[in-house]
Chains A and B, each alone.
Chain A
């Protein structure tokens, strides 16, 4: 039983890290909270579902379309976010809450309120290693999440662009003084965030049911993992994702599936209560 918890904890946790990456990057660079993050992931999931269901596009080929849609919406959103006035964090929360409502109602209009799932037939088969069982669905989720996280890690750590992004996350004024185009970095963060959202969307649609209001759960877990790790730490995000993944899998086994939603919420409130000054203050 505990090997099941371990396997699902690691796969879910890695996927949660992928879900949180875009949110953490946008927040770190622009200091705005995007509460519509989960809705964007669900939207990307719907795009994949729609292509897969109506045109029979194979699961892997839905990713480019999902990324394209996420990119378009996120770049429009970036225009809105760049107009916000101080206090940036609070105003971005209120505005993106409005964006979330807009997106939910748009999805309700185009895709109706029915629950949808991308059912890839091979995902239910799997590999047995003695007591350990790994389905192809879990394997895909784990592999794709880790590859994307690894690529982002390489981008942030080993390229000049990544260095500029990290500098902006650490200190915006000093970065600007060093000649980094800070507002350009904000645009870039939204673009990279959108690619991450577009990649997370179809995966989300293959493990969770898609419905217009499903985004809140994804948003909450992105916030939880981001607050856990602090900004600008990909390794911290992986740790946060795994802890949340293990905690949720453990709660499902011990208490039942219906208590799963509580885990992320309790973890977020506890983290906030322990670190009341927020996560940006600590950096300074």
Chain B
């Protein structure tokens, strides 16, 4: 009886695992049609998608079991690199956005030099402290970064010309929305590929039992560095996109605790051992914050993020999506027994 009950529950969870993302994708694709006359809704979902990409990028490192409290370092470095190159040298954002990712990965390499020897809590503390370095440097290097004055009037994303179609990516909200959605889907595809590749398997093995992973020949430090670099690269690209969409930067804003906390919170609440969990959490929690709590509590509405991470760590450490997907993993393991 119990086995039958469990399998039915597993079947339901299996269906949720397919239905929810499919429905979500359809809704996301059609959203501009519903929200055509409501700019605010489109802006909120554009930003939610951007945060979803940050959470996906965070989780490339997260899947190895390391928790970073310093991804604002990569986000900010990407944003500033792309902004300065396009603003001061007039290079097209299409070229400067990937360069933002490259500089973020460079910073991650320096961070890795000091922090990758650390594990668990001490890695998290070191990343928390590390953000201060690029932040204070950006704040003080007035000649290059204009310091705490920040950067204004960043160029927006240029229009795309495909045959006779003309996509305006920065003047029109719909254009920006679809651009971020497209980037999100590409990143989701890449993350899926990474998770299922040898790299992903190695990272999961390191998370489950590092000593055993090393014993079977996985080069632990090499894979951890690789995941940190990839994670930082895409966080930098997300930061660069953020800069060209908001068109205003300030060290305290892009290097702030917010952009370190947000991806960690979304990834853990959504499920940091799953592919989709972090993105789904971003797409649910950020709109809930903006549509429900922001009007109620203009000052202090972000208490929501603190509350959800406390609840998640106490009651659902594998995250909401991790809970749905758990049946999937269990069925693989018990499948051979039945």
Chain A partners chain B: yes
* Pairwise interchain contact B132-A95, C-beta atoms closer than 8 A: no
* Total chain A interface residues with beta-carbon distance under 8 A: 49
How far does the Cβ of A13 sit from chain B's closest Cβ, in whole Å?
Answer: 19
Instruction: Name which of B3-11, B151-159, B299-307 contacts chain A.
Output: B299-307
A-chain residues with CB within 8 Å of residue B140 when the two chains form the complex: 256, 258-259
The CB with the most chain A CB atoms within 10 A, among B118, B264, B308, is that of B118
* Pairwise interchain contact B129-A220, C-beta atoms closer than 8 A: yes
Of A35, A101, A259, which contacts B303 at CB under 8 A?
Answer: A101
Is B257's beta carbon under 8 Å from chain A? Answer: yes
Is B169's beta carbon under 8 Å from chain A? Answer: no
Is A33's beta carbon under 8 Å from chain B? Answer: yes
Is A265's beta carbon under 8 Å from chain B? Answer: yes
B-chain residues with CB within 8 Å of residue A64 when the two chains form the complex: none
* Pairwise interchain contact A98-B67, C-beta atoms closer than 8 A: no
Which chain B residues (124-163) contact chain A, with CB distance < 8 Å?
124-126, 128-133, 135-136, 139-140
B-chain residues with CB within 8 Å of residue A227 when the two chains form the complex: 125
Of B129, B131, B300, B314, which contacts A80 at CB under 8 A?
Answer: B314
* Pairwise interchain contact B313-A95, C-beta atoms closer than 8 A: yes
The answer for the CA separation of A109 and B301 in the assembled complex, in Å, is 9
Is A276's beta carbon under 8 Å from chain B? Answer: yes
The answer for the CA separation of A258 and B303 in the assembled complex, in Å, is 29
Is A50's beta carbon under 8 Å from chain B? Answer: no
Is A60's beta carbon under 8 Å from chain B? Answer: no
Is B69's beta carbon under 8 Å from chain A? Answer: yes
| A106-B300, A278-B122 known; A85+B317 contact, CB < 8 A | yes
Is A65's beta carbon under 8 Å from chain B? Answer: no
B-chain residues with CB within 8 Å of residue A224 when the two chains form the complex: 129
The CB with the most chain B CB atoms within 10 A, among A91, A98, A223, is that of A98
Is B49's beta carbon under 8 Å from chain A? Answer: no
Secondary structure at chain B's binding surface: helix, strand, loop or mixed? helix
* Pairwise interchain contact B125-A268, C-beta atoms closer than 8 A: yes
* Pairwise interchain contact A268-B264, C-beta atoms closer than 8 A: no
The answer for the CA separation of A105 and B303 in the assembled complex, in Å, is 5
Which chain B residues (207-256) contact chain A, with CB distance < 8 Å?
256
Interface 0/1 of A181-218, CB less than 8 Å to B: 00000000000000000000000000000000100100
* Pairwise interchain contact B121-A278, C-beta atoms closer than 8 A: yes
* Pairwise interchain contact A84-B314, C-beta atoms closer than 8 A: yes
Which chain A residues (2-53) contact chain B, with CB distance < 8 Å?
33, 35
Residue of A nearest to B303 (CB): A105
The answer for the CA separation of A35 and B257 in the assembled complex, in Å, is 13
* Pairwise interchain contact A95-B67, C-beta atoms closer than 8 A: no
B-chain residues with CB within 8 Å of residue A113 when the two chains form the complex: 299
The answer for the CA separation of A275 and B136 in the assembled complex, in Å, is 25
B-chain residues with CB within 8 Å of residue A109 when the two chains form the complex: 297, 299-300, 303
Is A112's beta carbon under 8 Å from chain B? Answer: yes
Of B67, B122, B297, B299, which contacts A94 at CB under 8 A?
Answer: B67
Which chain B residues (100-134) contact chain A, with CB distance < 8 Å?
114-115, 117-122, 124-126, 128-133
| A91-B317, A261-B132, A265-B130 known; A276+B117 contact, CB < 8 A | yes
Is B285's beta carbon under 8 Å from chain A? Answer: no
| A84-B314, A269-B115, A272-B122 known; A95+B128 contact, CB < 8 A | no
Which chain B residues (281-317) contact chain A, with CB distance < 8 Å?
297, 299-303, 305-310, 313-314, 317
Is A262's beta carbon under 8 Å from chain B? Answer: yes
Residue of A nearest to B137 (CB): A262
Is B31's beta carbon under 8 Å from chain A? Answer: no
The answer for the CA separation of A272 and B116 in the assembled complex, in Å, is 11
Is A83's beta carbon under 8 Å from chain B? Answer: yes
* Pairwise interchain contact B265-A98, C-beta atoms closer than 8 A: yes
Q: Using a CB–CB distance below 8 Å, which chain B residues touch chain A?
A: 67, 69, 114-115, 117-122, 124-126, 128-133, 135-136, 139-140, 256-257, 261, 264-265, 268, 297, 299-303, 305-310, 313-314, 317
Q: List 16 A-B contacts (CB under 8 A).
A: A83-B314, A89-B121, A93-B69, A95-B310, A97-B69, A97-B309, A100-B306, A101-B305, A102-B306, A220-B128, A258-B140, A268-B125, A272-B115, A272-B122, A272-B126, A273-B115
**Additional A-B contact list (4), CB under 8 Å, known A91-B317, A108-B299, A265-B131:** A102-B310, A258-B136, A269-B130, A273-B118
Q: Using a CB–CB distance below 8 Å, which chain A residues touch chain B?
A: 33, 35, 80, 83-85, 87, 89-95, 97-106, 108-109, 112-113, 213, 216, 220, 223-224, 227, 256, 258-259, 261-262, 264-266, 268-270, 272-273, 276, 278
